[in-house]
Amino acid sequence: MKESKVKELIIGGLTDPQVEVADTTGTGDHFSAVIISDDFKDLSLIEQHQLVYKTLGDYLTNEIHALQLKTYTKLAWEKTKLEA
């Protein structure tokens, strides 16, 4: 699977997200993603990740073998950038 397809699926399932996806092994089945969306507001980290998993559906069990996530609300992302 291509990074662009993973990104497209995530964007399609969230409200106005910013998404960056990287293929971590070059094999099209291990990815890392940074996702910024206010859909994550008031959700626990586990709930945020579950929301992303939902956008990927069956691809998680068939084509994606590993997915490393970093999820942020827009405010949390801004705070992270200021601390860097």
Strands 66-72 and 18-23 come out as unpaired
Q: Are the C-beta atoms of residues 76 and 41 closer than 8 Å to each other?
A: no
The number of angstroms, rounded, from the C-alpha of 6 to the middle of its chain's C-alpha atoms is 9
Q: Which domains does the chain have, with CATH numbers?
A: 3-83 (3.30.300.90)
Question: 31 φ, ψ to 5°?
Answer: -130, 155
pLDDT at position 83: 80
| Residue 50 half-sphere exposure toward CB, CA atoms < 13 A | 5
Reported as a single tens digit per residue, the pLDDT across 18-70 is: 999 999 999 999 999 999 999 999 999 999 999 999 999 999 989 999 999 99
Q: Which two tokens stand for residue 82?
A: 């200021």
